[in-house]
Chains A and B, each alone.
Chain A
Amino acid sequence: DTAVSQTPKYLVTQMGNDKSIKCEQNLGHDTMYWYKQDSKKFLKIMFSYNNKELIINETVPNRFSPKSPDKAHLNLHINSLELGDSAVYFCASSQVLAGPYEQYFGPGTRLTVT
C-alpha cells in the first residue's frame, strides 16, 4: 500500500492556467506538508497543515491555495500559472506536528509550465 500518494505524477500546462495537485496519506497522520523542489534541486517547505488547520505559509504567493478537506488529504490549487512555478512538488505527512516523528514523502508531481 502506498503511504503518501500524489496525483498526477506529471502535469504539463500553459501559462495562465489553473491546476490542482492532490495528495492523500493512509497513515493516520495529523500533519501534512507541501514542499517545492526547483530546477536547482533545492527543497523548500511551502505549507503545513495540522488537523486541517494551516500552520505554515512560507511566503508563498497567494496564487497557491492549499485545501485540506480532511486529515488524510491536502490538495494544492495553483491559479494563473507562471513559468517559475515549474518544479517538482512533494507532499509529506508526519504523525504529529511537534514530536520526534519522521516525515513520509510522496513520489512528487512534476509540473511543467510552458
Chain B
Amino acid sequence: DAKTTQPPSMDCAEGRAANLPCNHSTISGNEYVYWYRQIHSQGPQYIIHGLKNNETNEMASLIITEDRKSSTLILPHATLRDTAVYYCIVRKHGSGNTGKLIFGQGTTLQVKP
C-alpha cells in the first residue's frame, strides 16, 4: 500500500471549514483513499473514502486531485467535537487485499472556540 504524508497538526476556528491535506504521490490505480479519525481515548472512526471522484457524506467531503497524488478532507463546519487525530490511509481493494489499515502519524486537528 502506498505511503501517505500529512501535516502533524492544524488549528481551525469553530464553525469554519477544516481542510486537511494528504499527499499520496505513489498511489497506484487500484488503491483507494480512506480517512479515519480518532477522538481522544476512543477507537478510530471511519469518515469517508474515494477512488478518483470527489465524495461527500454526512460527515465530510473528500476532494481527490485529478492525478490522484493528493487529497483534501473537508469538514464544512467544524465543531469542538471534531478535535481529533485524522488519518489518511491508502488501501487496495479486491484480490490480494488483506484488509489491513496502515496508520501513519495523522494530523491532529484542534478546533478552537
Contact residues in B for A4 (Cβ distance below 8 Å): 43
**Which residue from A42, A44, A48, A104 sits with its C-beta under 8 Å from B99?**
A48
Are B98 and A99 in contact (CB-based, < 8 A)?
no
Identify whether the interface residues of B are mostly helix, strand, loop, or mixed.
loop
**Which residue from B99, B103, B105 sits with its C-beta under 8 Å from A98?**
B99
A105 with B99: in contact, given A98-B93, A99-B93, A100-B49 (CB under 8 Å)?
Answer: no
Q: Determine if A31 is an interface residue (Cβ-Cβ < 8 Å).
A: yes
A105 with B44: in contact, given A42-B103, A100-B32, A100-B49 (CB under 8 Å)?
Answer: yes
Q: Determine if A55 is an interface residue (Cβ-Cβ < 8 Å).
A: yes
Q: B: which residues have CB within 8 A of A?
A: 32, 34, 38, 41-46, 49, 85, 87, 93-103, 105
What are the 3 A-B residue pairs with the smallest beta carbon separation, nearest first?
A: A105-B43, A102-B46, A43-B103
Q: A: which residues have CB within 8 A of B?
A: 4, 31, 33, 35, 41-45, 48, 50, 55-56, 58, 90, 92, 94, 97-100, 102-108
Known interface pairs A102-B34, A108-B41; 9 further A-B residue pairs with C-beta atoms within 8 A, sorted by A's residue number: A42-B105, A48-B99, A55-B98, A90-B43, A98-B97, A98-B99, A99-B93, A102-B46, A103-B46
